[in-house]
Structure 1
Amino acid sequence: MNFSPGLGISCLLRNKRVKITRELIRSIIHLEDGGIRLYTTKIIPHIEEYNPVEACCRVSGKHFETIVRLSTNQLTLLCRVLHNIISHIIVPQNGHLDKVNHYDVFLLDSILRGRKLDFSYIMIQHMSYVLSGTRAKALPYGMIFTKIFQHFDVSFRDSVALLLKAIDTINILTLKRMKIVK
Structure 2
Amino acid sequence: MSTAIAHIVDDDEAIRDALAWLFKTRDVPCRPWPGGEEFLAEWQPDWRGCIVLDIRMTGMSGLECFDALNARGNAMPVIFITGHGDVPMAVSALKKGAFDFIEKPFNDLDLAALVEKAIAHDNARQRATADRDTIEARLATLSAREREVMELILEGLYNKVIADRLSISMRTVEAHRSRVFEKMHVRSAVELAQMLTTLRG
Larger Rg, first or second structure (1 or 2): 2
| TM-score normalized by the length of structure 1 | 0.27
| TM-score normalized by the length of structure 2 | 0.25
* Bigger proportion of residues as helix: 2
Bigger relative contact order, structure 1 or 2, given CA contacts below 8 A and separation 6+?
1
